[in-house]
Amino acid sequence: MSMTMIEAINCVVETVREFPMSGTTRPSQQTPADTTSIYARAEDFIGRENMQVQSQGWPENTEPCRRFSPGTNRIALPSNVLRSRASGPDAHRTLVMREEVIGGVGVRSVYDANLRTFAMGTSDVFLDAVVLLDFEDLPRPLQGVIVQAAMMKFQRRHENSQLSDQQLLMEYMQAEAIADRNRVKDDAMSFNLRPMVPQSQQPQQGQ
C-alpha cells in the first residue's frame, strides 16, 4: 500500500523527536490552512522533495513518445510537465522547454534550439514527458525516496546533528537502491548481427 501524506509528515517530524500529528487532514487542507506548525513545515519539505525527485523521471511518471499538437503555431506544455525531450520521429531534434511571454503572460512552450524558434508549424511533435503526480498516487518505493530525502533535509535545517545526518543518509541510499528506474530498451540494436547458419569450425593444423 502507498503512504498517505499524514504518514509521510509523521516520518519527517520523527527526525526531530516530535510526536505524530493528530487528525487525518494534511495541514494545507485544514480550515483555515495551517501554515505555521512543524507539521505544516514538514509538508512543505515533502512537497519540495516530491517535485525535485519526480523531475528526475521514473517509470511511474515518464510518458514516452507522447504526442503534442500545436495551437496557433506554438505548443504550450501542460503545467504538470516537469521535463521533456524529443523522441520518436522527432528524436533527432533538440526540443527543449522554455518560457515564452505572450501578451505579458509567461507560457511554458516547446522551443526548437536548433532553429532558435518557438514556431512549430502545424505538425504534431513527439516528446518523452516527465509529469508530476500526486504524492499519494506514487508506489511505495518511490515515495520512500521522497520521504527519506525530506527527512534528511528537515533534520539538517532543524537540528543539524552530524550523527543523525549520517544515519538518515544511509536510509536514503537504501531507499534509492530499491526504487525502479527507467531502462534502456533491449531492442535498441542493429539487425542481422550473426549468421543464420552456424559456421563450421575450422580444423586445427596437425589433426
- Please state, in angstroms and rounded to a whole number, the distance separating the CA atoms of residues 31 and 178: 38
Burial category of 163 from C-beta neighbours within 10 Å (exposed 0-12, middle 13-18, buried 19 and up): exposed
**Confidence (pLDDT) at 179:** 93
Contact call for residues 31 and 120 (beta carbons, < 8 A): no
**Residue 9: alpha-carbon gap to chain centroid:** 20
- What cell does 57 get? 523521471
Question: pTM for this structure?
Answer: 0.84
- Please state, in angstroms and rounded to a whole number, the distance separating the CA atoms of residues 53 and 177: 14
84 backbone φψ class: left, alpha, beta (φ>0; ψ -120 to 50): beta
Ranges of H-type helices in 131-161: 140-158
**Confidence (pLDDT) at 188:** 54
74 backbone φψ class: left, alpha, beta (φ>0; ψ -120 to 50): beta
Each of the 207 residues of the chain gets a pLDDT tens digit; together they read 789 999 999 999 999 999 999 999 999 999 999 999 999 999 999 999 999 999 999 999 999 999 999 988 899 999 999 999 999 999 999 999 999 888 888 889 999 999 999 999 899 999 999 999 999 999 999 999 999 999 999 999 999 999 999 999 999 999 999 999 988 765 555 666 677 676 666 666 665
What does the DSSP assignment read for 101-137? EETTEEEEEEEETTTTBS--TTS-EEEEEEE---GGG
* CA terminus-to-terminus distance, the chain: 67
**Confidence (pLDDT) at 102:** 82
- What cell does 99 get? 518560457
